[in-house]
Structures are given as C-alpha cells and as structure tokens.
Amino acid sequence: MKIQSKITLLFLLLSGVILVLLNITIFYLVYRFGFDDFFKRLEARVNISAEVRLFPGAKSQAYQEVRNRYLEKLESEKEYFFSTDTLNKININGGINVKSSFIKNILKDSAARYKVDNIFYAGKVFTKGNSRYIVIVSAIDPSGFQELKDLQRILVYGFLAAMILVYFVGKIFSFYTFQPVRRIINNVKNITANNLHFRLDELSGKDEIAELSYTFNDMLNRLETAFETQNNFVSNASHELRTPLTIISTEAELALSKTDANPEQRQIFGTIYSESEKLGQILNSLLTLAQSGFDGKKQRWESIRMDELLMTASESIKRINTDSNIQIDLEDMPTDEHLLYVSGNSNLLRLAVTNIISNACKYSDNRMVKIRLLAENNKVIISITDQGIGIPESELQHIFEPFFRASNTHSYEGHGVGLPLTLNIIRLHRGSIGIRSDVGKGTEIKVFLPLEASA
C-alpha cells in the first residue's frame, strides 16, 4: 500500500474516532439534560401536590388553579400520597407500581428520582406537625425518547456523511502533500547510466522534500563519478593490458617454434605461453563482466527469438567441445511464437546462455544436458538440467560471486567469473536466475526473462 493511501486511511481513522467520541458526548449530554428537565417538571408537580394535599385553604386553591391553568397534563400522570410513622412504616395499597427500594431512597435522602423504561418517578418527603408524608408523581415522557431517537438518527447519518467527506478531503490532502514526492520519483525514473548528469530540481525551503532532493543529487554526483571511473578503466584496460599480454604470448610462441631450444627451455616457453593465454582469457572475462554491469554505452536492443538463440548457443558449444551431449526439449515450448520473443542484446544473451550450458557440460563430464523452453506469467523460462557433480547447499549462495568456485570443482578448470557474468547480463535484461542442485545428482538452472510485450 502506498504511503499516500496509508495517510488517507489514517486521517479517516483519526477523524472517525474523534467524530465517534464527539457524537457520544453530544448524545450523553442531551440524554442527561432531557431527562433532568423532565424530572424537574415532575418535582414541581410533587411540590404543588404536597401544598394542595397538606395545606388546604386559599393558598392551596391558588396552587391548584396554577396547576390546572399553566401546567400541561403529562401523559399517564399519576400521584401517590403516603403517610409514615416515626418508624418509617408505610402502608402501601395493593396495585400501586412503585418499588419499595425507591420509597426507601426517598425516606433516606428526603427526595429521590427513579425511571423504569419510559416511566419517570419523582418523590419527596414532607413534614406537617409531627407527621411525615411522601408524595410521588409519575408520568411518561414520549417526546423525550422520540427526540433522543431523532438525535441518534441524525448523529448516525451525520457521522456517515462526515466520514465520506473526510475520506475525499483526506485523499485530496494526501495527493497534494505527496505531489513533490511523485515529481521526484518521476524524475529519478528518467535517470539512467546514460544521463547521470541530470539532476533533480532543488526546492526552496528546509523541509524534508527539499532535503530529499538534495540527498538524491548528492548521490547522483557520487554515482556519476564512480561510473566515469569504471568506464575509463574498462576502456583503458582493454588496450593497456592486452597489448603486453599479446607480446608475451607471441614471443613465447616464437620461442617454441625455434628448433635450437633444449627440452627444458621448451617446457619453460610452453608454460609461459599457456599461462599468458590463460591470463588473456581471465582478462577478457573480467572486462566483459565489468562491461555487462555498466550500461555506459547504449546497448543495441533488438527482438530475439529464444528457441533460435538456444540452437545457436548449443551448436557453438558442440563445435568447441565435440564430446558434449546436449538435448533441447521443445515439448513444452509455447505454440504461440509471440511468447518466444524477448527484447535485448543477442550477443550478451547468447554469451549468458552459453556460459550456463558450457558449465553444465563441463561439470557433468559430458553426460546428458537437457534444455527446456517454456513461457509462464509473461516470462520466457529457460531450464538447463545436468547430471553432474552438483553444488553443496551451503555454497549455493556464493556461486554468483566473482572468483568463487565450489569446493568440489578443484579437478575442473575455471576462473569463477562465468556465472557472475551471466547474472549481470540477465539482470541487465531485467530477468532473474534460479538454481537448484543436489551433490552427486546434478544441477538445474532456470533463467527468467520478461516477454518482449511486457519488457
């Protein structure tokens, strides 16, 4: 998931939590205020009822008149009037739906409130002379509950609408926030080994984006210097090192051609010649390895049909090693010829495939080497399987390191640069290599290359 999407979701989550807490707070406060207001209305009626019942006369008639004229009649409004003795014993008539615990709370605190479902009760203790009385008024508050339901509906719909709005606001916010980052990414994608002189636009300010641009440009400066150094070495080494090696090899060959040299001298000249040739091969491999890992010159890319390339590579190995036993199995080859083409440099790819097949023949003592070609998941797959000595499992991770040779290859000639060179070439073509090996049974190497249409 992209950081922009993560920020949008995080913004949505935080906003959602804040809105939920705000809605809960609003609902709770309205709930408390609404019920508290209704209880106060009941308590006002309790006081009026007490005045009317306990203090009859003109004053009580005035209270009664106020009650009838100005106080609305509550739904299912009921009054309860009880007397109590000094021991707080109350005679409650049957059929009265008032909890005894509620009455005990009234006697204990002189006043109490109580609610069950949508029925509200308010009660209070009054004293007249030496007598004590309890007055309770109950009623139903349908409008209060309806208001809470309406409020709940409004809060839920408001929350959903707010979350949709917050999502789009967060998306727009994150889009504009990461716009400089996207611009940097697009600019970096356009920088290759061919145009390392390009630099990112340095932004004004001292924020993280400006610092990132500065860091990228600094890295590009170092890369350009390193690539130029490597390119100069590859260019100069080809001439400066090959010339003296050619002279040594030629002089040794000339000395061997002389008839007046004694056997000891001929042996020395032969050693010099063979070692100079070997050194030349190592030098050529190293230079090719360096060049394959550096795209300092634009490679000549072309459309390559892999079955034809395998045939060519196999034939070239058979010409060099006539004892090689190579079988190309085309049974799994795709019938659609468009699935056989890759985009790349044919010389480099042929060199990479030749290195793998040549190693398979060498380390299997020219036993059967089987080559399969197939296409899966927009990739051309080349499978090369031998029946050779295999590679120890602990050493598999090192076989692509330059000059590394497995511990069981001492009796075979080699320099340890073939597979690193092959890996560099395959990576240059945006491919990959997989390897599976059993000691004493053989090795299978798979090369994965993207199809030309998906390259």
pLDDT for position 89 = 59
* 237 CB burial (10 A radius; 0-12, 13-18, 19+): middle
For residue 175, is it within any domain?
A: no
Q: Do 139 and 7 share a structural domain?
A: yes
Is-contact 435 396, C-beta < 8 A?
Answer: yes
Instruction: State which residues form the domain around 17.
Output: 3-149
Cα four-point dihedral sign 148, 151, 155, 161: positive
- Taking alpha carbons only, the member of 207, 159, 153, 165 closest to residue 184 is 207
Q: Tell me, yes or no, whether 437 and 328 share the same domain.
A: yes
The answer to whether position 195 is within a domain reads no
Within 293-345, residue ranges assigned H as helices are: 306-320
pTM metric for this prediction: 0.49
Per-residue pLDDT reduced to its tens digit, 137-169: 888 877 777 777 888 889 999 999 999 998 898
Instruction: Choose the final residue of a domain: 131, 149, 167.
Output: 149
Residues 288 and 315 in one domain: no
- 261 and 145 in one domain? no
The count of domains in the chain is 3
CA 337 to chain centre: 36
Residue whose token pair is 């000094």? 86
User: Residue 173 domain-assigned?
Assistant: no
Q: Could you identify the residue written with the tokens 């106080």? A: 71
Indicate if the alpha-carbon torsion angle 63, 65, 70, 73 is positive or negative.
positive
Q: Quick one: 321 and 410 in the same domain? A: yes
Is residue 322 predicted with pLDDT exceeding 50?
yes
The CATH number of the domain where 268 resides is what? Answer: 1.10.287
Q: Over the stretch 348-374, which tens digit does the pLDDT of each residue have?
A: 888 889 999 999 999 999 899 999 999
Residue 187 falls within a domain, yes or no?
no
What's the CA gap between 72 and 44, in Å, rounded? Answer: 12
Q: What is the DSSP letter of 202?
A: P
**Mean predicted lDDT score pLDDT of the chain:** 81
Per-residue pLDDT, 9:
87
Asked if 275 and 309 sit in the same domain, the reply is: no
Last residue of a domain, one of 149, 173, 199: 149
In a domain, 260, yes or no: yes
pLDDT for the residue numbered 94 = 47
Give the CATH number for residue 35.
3.30.450
159 domain-assigned: no
Contact 423, 311 (CB under 8 A): no
Per-residue model confidence (pLDDT) at position 454: 60
State the burial class of residue 30 (Cβ atoms within 10 Å of its Cβ: 0-12, 13-18, 19+): middle
Write the DSSP assignment of 380-420 as a string of letters: EEEEEE--S----GGGGGGTTSTT---TT-TTS---S-HHH
200-214 residue pLDDT tens: 777 676 777 788 888
- Are 315 and 231 within one domain? no
Say if 50 falls within a structural domain. yes
**61-98: string of b/e by CB count within 10 Å (b at 16+)?**
eebeeebeeeeeebeeeebbebebeeeeebeeeeeeeb
Cα 206 from Cα 201, distance rounded (Å): 14
Task: Flag whether pLDDT at 61 surpasses 70.
Answer: no
Q: Which of 292, 326, 342 is the last residue of a domain?
A: 292
Looking at the fold, whether 263 and 307 belong to one and the same domain comes out as no
Q: How far apart are CA 361 and CA 369, in angstroms?
A: 7
Residue 441, pLDDT score: 92
Q: Are residues 138 and 217 in the same domain?
A: no
Q: How many CB atoms lie within 10 A of CB 43?
A: 16
Token digits for 237?
């080494």
Domain holding 323: CATH number? Answer: 3.30.565.10
Asked whether the predicted pLDDT for residue 59 surpasses 80, the reply is: no
Q: How far is CA 354 from the centre of its chain?
A: 38
- Same domain assignment for residues 337 and 446: yes
Considering the domain architecture, whether residues 266 and 319 belong to the same structural domain is answered as no
**Residues in contact with 453: Cβ distance below 8 Å, sequence separation at least 6, in sequence order:** 338, 378
- For residues 365 and 258, membership in a common domain is answered with no
Query: How many CB atoms neighbour CB 116 within 10 A?
Result: 11
- Token pair listed for 444: 């299978």
pLDDT above 50 for 188: yes
Residue 70 pLDDT exceeds 60: no
In a domain, 172, yes or no: no
